[in-house]
Amino acid sequence: MQRLQDIRVSNIERLTTPRSLKEKLPVTQGVADVVCQGREEVEGILSGRDSRLLVVVGPCSIHDINAAMEYARRLKALRDELKDDLCIIMRVYFEKPRTTIGWKGFINDPHLDGTFDIEHGLYYARKLLLDINALGLPAATEFLDPFTPQYVADLVSWAAIGARTIESQTHRQMASGLSMPVGFKNSTDGRVQAAIDAIRSAMHSHSFLGIDADGHSSVITTTGNPYGHMVLRGGSGRPNYDAENIADAERRLEKEGLDKNLLVDCSHANSGKNYERQSTVWNSIIEQRVTGTESILGVMLESNLLCGKQSVSTDPSSLQYGVSITDACISWEETATLLRDGAMKLHHFLSRAEV
């Protein structure tokens, strides 16, 4: 019988249940208010009730809790400063999909040493989200493992399904039950139809295998998510944020009977994987907004305390503070400049429109 199963499994370790972790790190009323407000703001933008631009901005991935909190405190101040024109939500990504192999993110390997202390990763991922929301700053993340939402989704105001998982039935089903708006990225080869199919799928009810709050295998039945939308990130080395590609995405969404709601990712293929080009994408999107492209409702920026990236090290003390260990990011100074400049242009545009 031992030859029939687990022949390539070296270890199975039970984790704390979602309920137990939430009891250890409970949501306060103040945090709940911030999460709900963040969700309501995004829903207002997607439904056309809120004319501000949604900005999901922050590190490509979280690997240093202290640096993440310093970034969050700075971003909270900027969110308050620019709140009339921008709805700013912090990008707080704990899971990293990989084409082959590599560091899979803070939850999977929080110590950066291959020990895969997922118990620690889940605990401190939840704690960080609690602390960020406690500042009054809503958070955004990408959900990769279908069990992760049970542990942290109650602290997330906007979620993404990434380009590598966009065609996964598992992720579309998961999105149909998430309590926050979900952005679906076009596939890595640039096809937007995959995102359209995902939006349509997630709008509907699904029943599928999952876990409940006590970690038991369960049948999860969802009602569908009405706030799915497309995120354009380019693909196969080609950008898709220009006016022609925006118009094409609008036509495809309209043909499918879906709302023409678009977010543009300034990184990845849209920047040619060159962080210095994120500003070019940002400026183009702002220009398209102020010249009347109403479908562009939001922008994503990969940003950190310092610009660039560094290699993952098994000795965290050797890492440069505030520098990404995954995709290269723009610096905080450039981030603040771009957001302030974009807010000013949008403010002037809205002022002229009201007159």
What is the chain's mean pLDDT, rounded? 96
- Confidence grade of residue 193 (pLDDT, cut at 50, 70, 90): very high
Q: How far apart are CA 148 and CA 146, in angstroms?
A: 6
Sign of CA dihedral 292, 294, 296, 298: positive
Sign of CA dihedral 311, 92, 53, 299: positive
Query: What does the pLDDT look like over 267-295, one tens digit per residue?
Result: 999 999 999 999 999 999 999 999 999 99
* 353 confidence band (pLDDT: 50, 70, 90): low
Tell me the pLDDT band of 13, cut-offs 50, 70 and 90: very high
State yes or no: pLDDT of 109 exceeds 60. Answer: yes
Does 355 score more than 60 pLDDT?
no
Q: What is the DSSP letter of 275?
A: G
Confidence of residue 117 (pLDDT cuts 50, 70, 90): very high
Split at pLDDT 50, 70, 90, the class of 352 is low
Backbone angles phi, psi at 85, to 5 degrees: -120, -25
Nearest to 321 by CA among 12, 57, 63, 29: 63
Residue with tokens 């279908």: 146
- Strands (E) across the chain are located at 53-58, 86-91, 139-142, 158-161, 182-185, 207-211, 217-221, 228-232, 262-265, 296-302
pLDDT at residue 91 is higher than 70? yes
Q: Return the CATH architecture of domain 18-354.
A: Alpha-Beta Barrel (3.20)
pLDDT in tens, 167-192: 999 999 999 999 999 999 999 999 99
C-alpha distances in Å from residue 116, one per residue of 211, 256, 318, 324: 21, 42, 20, 20
329 has pLDDT over 80: yes
- The per-residue pLDDT for 349 is 75
Q: What Å distances lie between residue 245 and 162, 232, 265, 295, CA to CA? A: 19, 9, 13, 12
pLDDT, tens digit, 9 for 90 and up, residues 308-326: 999 987 788 899 999 999 9
Short-list 143, 161, 138, CA closest to 41:
138
pLDDT for res 98: 80
Give me the pLDDT at residue 313, please: 76
β-strand partners of 175 = none
Residue 252 clears pLDDT 90, i.e. is over it? yes
Q: Residue 164: how many CB atoms within 10 A of its CB?
A: 15
What whole-number percentage of the chain has pLDDT above 90? 92
**pLDDT tens digits for 154-169?**
999 999 999 999 999 9
Confidence of residue 100 (pLDDT cuts 50, 70, 90): confident
- Quick check: pTM over 0.85? yes
Q: pLDDT tens for residues 41-71?
A: 999 999 999 999 999 999 999 999 999 999 9
Lowest mean pLDDT segment, chosen from 13-27, 173-187, 209-223, 302-316:
302-316
**Alpha-carbon distance 74 to 197, whole Å?**
37
Query: Is the pLDDT score of 351 beyond 70?
Result: no
* All structural domains of the chain with their residue ranges: 18-354
Please count the other Cβ atoms lying within 10 Å of the Cβ belonging to residue 180. 25
CA distance linking residue 55 with residue 34, whole number of Å: 16
What's the burial of 258, exposed, middle or buried (CB within 10 Å: 0-12/13-18/19+)?
A: middle
Q: State how far the alpha carbon of 207 is from the alpha carbons of 160, 167, 178, 179, in Å.
A: 21, 18, 13, 16
Q: How confident is the model at residue 97 (pLDDT cuts 50, 70, 90)?
A: confident
Q: Are strands 207-211 and 217-221 parallel, antiparallel or unpaired?
A: antiparallel
